[in-house]
Structure 1
Amino acid sequence: MKKLLIALITLVPSLVFAAGPEVPLDKAEVDLHDKASLQRGAQLYMNYCLGCHQLQYHRYNRTFEDLGIPQELGEKNLQFTGDKAGDRITNNMNPESAANWFGTAVPDLTNVARVRGADWIYTYLRSFYKDDSRPFGVNNAVFPNVGMPHVLQELQGLPEKTYEERLIDGEMEDVYVGIETDGGGRLSESEYDQAMLDLTAFLVYTGEPMLLEQRRIGWFVFGFLLVFTILAWLLKKEFWKDLK
């Protein structure tokens, strides 16, 4: 037990460092019933993310079916590798080459929403900013010193940190207040936010594709237990009536 406590104490600093600085997360109002949102998110993922990040625990045909996308339409517009509809959603990036390019292995994103949470993903996708000191010229407020480029820059433009002069302890100081795009993207700020919400919703789906079905079954189970409890109580009441 003593050795275990020592090991845990030793690990605490590294765990805190890995967590990074605390940044307020924006609420991601994900609606898994909104098939149109999920379809748009799938389109964004296939066009901008799949080149690096696989979804190797998902298959194209299952994804098309769950999202209400006709298979022929999905194969034509969302499947670019020549794979069969029943194949897993992977790419041809060499893991060793990727580690050299980005400084670390590129993660599979199938379960990223289960690990990080929807709010983290939504905020992360909207928190890139210009940083000339980084290899790709950008950084991220949620994930400092991130190794990936801002692949969605053509949609958002190139954001920059903004500061506001405020009086603090009797002195005027520049205080960080947020990130603002340069307006060079194809989408407006509200359109980009919606696009990132769609992408977040798709990643939530990939993490738990059976979530809605689980909830539906859960209500049936709850109803059964409620009815069973009432019947058991009535049976107990009837049984004990003759023993009084």
Structure 2
Amino acid sequence: MKKWIVAGLLAFGLVSGAVAAKGAFPLDRAPDLSNDVEALQRGGKLFVNYCLSCHSASFERYKRFKELGLTERQIRENFLFTDGRVGDLMQAAISPADAKVFWGKAAPDLTMITRSRAGSGGTDYIFTLLRSYYRDDMIAHGSNNLAFPTIAMPNPLWYLQGERRPIIETVANADGSSTQVLRGWEQVTPGTMSPEEFDRSVAELVAFLDWLAEPHQDQRQQLGIFVLLFLAGFTVLAWKLNKEYWKDIK
């Protein structure tokens, strides 16, 4: 039940926090792991374990993982925790009715979360948000977020990350005002992962979400390059043909 509640709050932070974070907190660049199949596989496993309990990815089916090099047996053993089939849509384990009772509304679908938030930072925003939690006893659920202050959702990955404290320095400005600048983080209690391992895992989760939003993104981009080269060559050919056709006409 706790896992359902924590995972369910994740998308509310992703959705409502995107606007709050834009321009208010510097975003870290999410590593580009779009061509790292093993990283996408690990990110998919994190998604299934920490998100899919309450969030659907209902525009995709489990069999989509085959495109990441997994067999049906591997999908059943690592990504399906119910009696569902590989061809089923990726529906949340919790029913919409129960979600409405717990949170007032069902958790949003995450299939297109990175594309729908592209204007607010997209993958960079989600990557930054999931790594910017810190302990704050003034918040009811005990955690806050620098990228989205007074966030309504607790840290969904706290068990992996542990608890951290931001190191904030107050810098004086020329006009007499002051600015608070983040200088780093101090680990208060360890998680099951080191800071480096956690950052890598979040990057893999974000990369998977980006892949899930458009699994054929790389193929589309490659095809786009081919189309542009073809049009460039055709333009030269058409220009020379036009010149040859009108050379004797004055």
Q: Does 1:122 align with 2:124?
A: no
Alpha-carbon distance in structure 2 between the residues aligned to 1:32 and 1:220: 20
How much does 1:220 deviate? 1.9
**Per-residue CA distance 1:116-139 (angstroms, 9 max, x = gap):** 211001001101111223332222
Alpha-carbon distance in structure 1 between the residues aligned to 2:237 and 2:171: 66
CA gap 1:154/1:48 in 2 versus in 1, 3 angstroms: same
How much does 1:176 deviate? 5.5
How much does 1:69 deviate? 1.4
How much does 1:175 deviate? 4.2
Aligned to 2:41: 39
Mapped contact 2:173–2:179 kept (Cα < 8 A): no
Q: Does 1:203 align with 2:209?
A: yes
Alpha-carbon distance in structure 2 between the residues aligned to 1:207 and 1:134: 33
Mapped contact 1:59–1:85 kept (Cα < 8 A): yes
SS of match in other structure, 1:108: coil
Alpha-carbon distance in structure 2 between the residues aligned to 1:215 and 1:208: 11
SS of match in other structure, 1:146: coil
Which of these residues, 113, 136, 151, is aligned with residue 131 of structure 1?
136
How much does 1:55 deviate? 0.8
**Per-residue CA distance 1:10-51 (angstroms, 9 max, x = gap):** xxxxxxx98225110001122311111111110111111111
Mapped contact 2:18–2:125 kept (Cα < 8 A): no
Aligned to 1:188: 194
Mapped contact 1:58–1:110 kept (Cα < 8 A): yes
Name whichever of 71-80 and 117-126 sits farther off: 71-80
SS of match in other structure, 1:27: coil
Aligned positions, number:
226
Alpha-carbon distance in structure 1 between the residues aligned to 2:54 and 2:181: 32
**Per-residue CA distance 1:137-195 (angstroms, 9 max, x = gap):** 222222333333322111100223333466678x9x99452543324101111111111
Aligned to 2:19: 19
Mapped contact 1:30–1:200 kept (Cα < 8 A): no
Mapped contact 1:161–1:176 kept (Cα < 8 A): no
Structure 2: 5+ residue stretches without partners: 1-16
How much does 1:96 deviate? 4.1
RMSD over equivalenced CA pairs, Å:
2.5
Mapped contact 1:103–1:147 kept (Cα < 8 A): no
Aligned to 1:9: none
**TM-score under structure 1 normalisation?**
0.83
Name whichever of 226-235 and 140-149 sits farther off: 140-149
Alpha-carbon distance in structure 1 between the residues aligned to 2:181 and 2:103: 28
Mapped contact 1:132–1:138 kept (Cα < 8 A): yes
Mapped contact 2:31–2:203 kept (Cα < 8 A): yes
The sequence identity of aligned pairs, in percent, is 40
Name whichever of 98-107 and 135-144 sits farther off: 98-107
**TM-score under structure 2 normalisation?**
0.81
Mapped contact 2:57–2:91 kept (Cα < 8 A): yes
Aligned to 2:3: none
Alpha-carbon distance in structure 2 between the residues aligned to 1:215 and 1:19: 28
Aligned to 1:157: 162
Larger Rg: 1
Structure 1: 5+ residue stretches without partners: 1-16
